Amino acid sequence: MDYSQLIKTEAKKLGFLSCGISKAEFLEDEAPRLERWLKDGKHGKMAYMENHFDKRLDPRLLVPDAKSIISLLLNYYNPLDQLDGAPKISKYAYGKDYHHVIKDKLKQLFQIINNEIGEVSGRVFVDSAPVMEKSWAVRSGLGWQGKNTNLISKKAGSFFFIAELIVDLELEYDTPVTDHCGTCTACIDACPTEALTPYHIDASKCISYLTIELKDQIPTAFKNKMDDWAFGCDVCQDVCPWNRFSKQHNEPLFSPNSEVINYTKKNWEEITQETFNIIFKNSAIKRTGFNGFKRNISFLKE
């Protein structure tokens, strides 16, 4: 039996957009780039990025006897927009927290692999460990890393999550695709905080970092540069020509929370801790906490 094809077929059945497989090995090309990025402080105050440097670059240190990285994409694109004038929330956070949704699917896929192939050891990953997910997705042929540093697919754009199954099973490996950014600089030109240069991001200037990862006050240097984003930012994806191929996701759990879509600017500015806890009980927006979310909205008002 072709185990690789079996895994890809079952991944599709579970709703994944696509699945690619690469060999678990040391990321030789990425090592100097990651080291330079960290040394230059481009990770801002995300101190955790400095941890487990070796494991980030070699999944065999993360998962004993790892042989294959199964990379998976799950579409979250939704054409619906919030009300005009409301503080903006990134599309990926419209519905249920993707960590839980994807982890459940990965566990199902892992169970299928064990049922159909035999005892396979490994781990599932969704943003939860030092895994260079975009690098593995590129090696697995799922797209190329664009000038905005996001993974981009010719067929589906970039509004998708990336997840991995790292297993001790040898499989048939896919090959990378070519870069199709060409001479386009739409993402770089549109970035409100000038966080992008071709194929590089200064995370300390990125609106997603400022509104989610940064726990301190947002520096005043970014006043009037936030483009009304209160949680995350989609600008570099919204302007990417490849996202004209994005299609509505088919995951019910990613359906937009009605408040996210229908709340007015006034609703958001007057939100209470109790309402925040109710609306975002199962949302990725919980990550900022109520105080962080209020900080972001206040910064946009000032």
* Catalytic sites, residue numbers: 127
Residue 248 burial (10 A CB sphere; 0-12, 13-18, 19+): exposed
- Bridge partners (DSSP) of residue 124 are 165
CA distance 40 to 45: 12
In sequence order, what are the residues at sequence separation of 6 or more whose Cβ sits closer than 8 angstroms to the Cβ of residue 79?
Answer: 248
The total of other beta-carbon atoms located within 10 Å of residue 33's CB is 13
Please say whether the dihedral angle defined by the alpha carbons of residues 292, 134, 188 and 195, taken in this order, is positive or negative.
Answer: positive
Nearest to 123 by CA among 113, 115, 137: 113
